């Protein structure tokens, strides 16, 4: 079965910048590849990424400015060579 048919939420391309915060890692800034009602997939770049099931605080930025004044809590759903899947909690 096609992976897109198994997804809970449809993905849309995104150019958001995600500032991911965690006490052990500090803040890492990643470029989102896509977004859905369930979360984001962000490109790894050269960063060390938090492991699966880690809870992180995320600030979402667009070219027009910051979208959320308070960071949103998200969970690392998966990590790959390409990037990180984050889901809203």
What is the reported pLDDT for 1?
44
Q: Which residue has the higher pLDDT, 9 or 71?
A: 71
Total domains in the chain come to 1
Contact 23, 17 (CB under 8 A): no
Q: Which helix (H) or strand (E) holds 40?
A: strand 39-43
Domain enclosing residue 25, as ranges:
3-88
Residues 6+ apart with CB under 8 A from 30: 17, 18, 20, 42, 43, 44, 45, 47, 83, 84
The domain that holds 44 is classified in CATH as 2.40.10.220
Encode pLDDT of 54-69 as tens digits.
999 999 999 899 999 8
């Amino acid at each position: 079965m096609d992976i897109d048919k198994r997804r809970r939420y449809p993905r849309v391309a995104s150019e958001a910048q995600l500032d991911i915060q965690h006490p052990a890692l500090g803040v890492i800034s990643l470029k989102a590849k896509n977004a859905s009602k369930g979360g984001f997939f962000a490109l790894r770049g050269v960063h060390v990424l938090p492991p699966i099931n880690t809870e992180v605080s995320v600030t979402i930025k667009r070219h027009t400015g910051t979208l959320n004044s308070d960071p949103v809590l998200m969970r690392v759903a998966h990590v790959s060579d390409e990037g990180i899947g984050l889901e809203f909690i």
